[in-house]
Amino acid sequence: MALRGDWVYENNGGTCVAIAGSDYCVIAADTRLSVGYSIYTRDYSKICKLADKCVLATSGFQGDMKALQKNLAARHLIYQHQHNKQMGCPVMAQHLSNTLYYKRFFPYYTFNILGGLDSDGKGCVFTYDAVGSYERVGYSAQGTGAGLIIPVLDNQLKSPSPLLLPAKDAVTPLSEVEAVDLLKDVFASATERDIYTGDKVEIVVINASGIRQELMELRKD
């Protein structure tokens, strides 16, 4: 593919993970940016705060990530002017889906996870493919380390499907502190076996009191 003279994409590697809880949402992403076997920087944030209770984490091609974030931030500003309020998380979720699909024939090479609180204050995580198909889930991982992380999250967090009838309650039983610890653990493990994941992990926690951020060091090799 890269042999084409007009190939414009590049995979910068990295991993993003998010977990939704009953009254919180945690989103994490590593901070390494790579091209091929080279590391361009160890300090690159893949997380973007779009609204008060809504945060986007993106892995894939960071050029497209930057363009997408700018696009969404601009549209959010217009929404605020027109509606006199911030976009809620499910609103932003559908908007992101449409934004991605409008580039269906020249895709954003981005694998996104949107996290935040819905209007009831419950944590929500939306996971996307590159062209905009999306779904609300209890947890998600995207990027080069996703294949190493998702099985662990399935084991710890898997809950009954929302499609089951009669419906079964699907709330993640973890507390906020346990979820953050779990995220730190999975990133440490993914760093061991994925060359594109490492350096630092940026963890963002959204709950009723607001948004807080912490950084944890990872292996730099």
Partner 1 sequence: MMELDLSGFESCPLFPGGVVADHGENPLAAASFQLPACSDFDGFQKDAIQMTKPAKGTTTLAFVFKEGVIVAADSRATMGGYISSQSVKKIVEINPHMLGTIAGGAADCQFWHRNLGIKCRLHELANKRRISVTGASKLLANILYSYKGMGLSVGTMIAGWDEKGPGLYYVDNEGGRLKGTRFSVGSGSPYAYGVLDSGYQFNMSVEEAAELARRAIYHATFHDGASGGVASVYHVGPQGWKKLSGDDVGELHYKYYPMILTPTEQEMADTSAA
Q: What angle do CA 49, 17, 99 make, to 5 degrees?
A: 50
Contact between 58 and 68 (Cβ < 8 Å): yes
Contact status: 34 vs partner 1 (CB under 8 A): no
Question: 64 is written with which tokens?
Answer: 């497209």
Contact status: 80 vs partner 1 (CB under 8 A): no
Contact status: 106 vs partner 1 (CB under 8 A): yes
Contact between 112 and 132 (Cβ < 8 Å): no
Q: Restricting to residues 148-187, which ones interact with partner 1 according to CB under 8 A?
A: 161-165
206: amino acid identity, one letter: I
DSSP 1-25: -TTSTT--------EEEEEE-SSEE
Contact status: 147 vs partner 1 (CB under 8 A): yes
Residue closer to partner 1, measured from CB, 9 or 220: 9
Phi, psi of 25 (to 5 degrees): -145, 135
151/158 Cα distance (integer angstroms): 10
Question: Least distance in Å: CB of 49 to partner 1?
Answer: 19
Question: Least distance in Å: CB of 11 to partner 1?
Answer: 9
- Other Cβ atoms closer than 10 A to 36: 10
End-to-end alpha-carbon separation of the chain, Å?
29
Contact status: 83 vs partner 1 (CB under 8 A): no
Residue closer to partner 1, measured from CB, 24 or 109: 109
Q: Restricting to residues 109-138, which ones interact with partner 1 according to CB under 8 A?
A: 109, 127, 129-135, 137
Question: 168 is written with which tokens?
Answer: 């079964």
Contact status: 81 vs partner 1 (CB under 8 A): no
Question: Least distance in Å: CB of 150 to partner 1?
Answer: 9
Find the part of the chain contacting partner 1 (CB under 8 A) among 2-10, 26-34, 177-185, 199-207: 2-10
Q: Which residues bind partner 1 (CB under 8 A)?
A: 1, 4, 6-9, 67, 70-71, 74-75, 78, 97-107, 109, 127, 129-135, 137, 147, 161-165
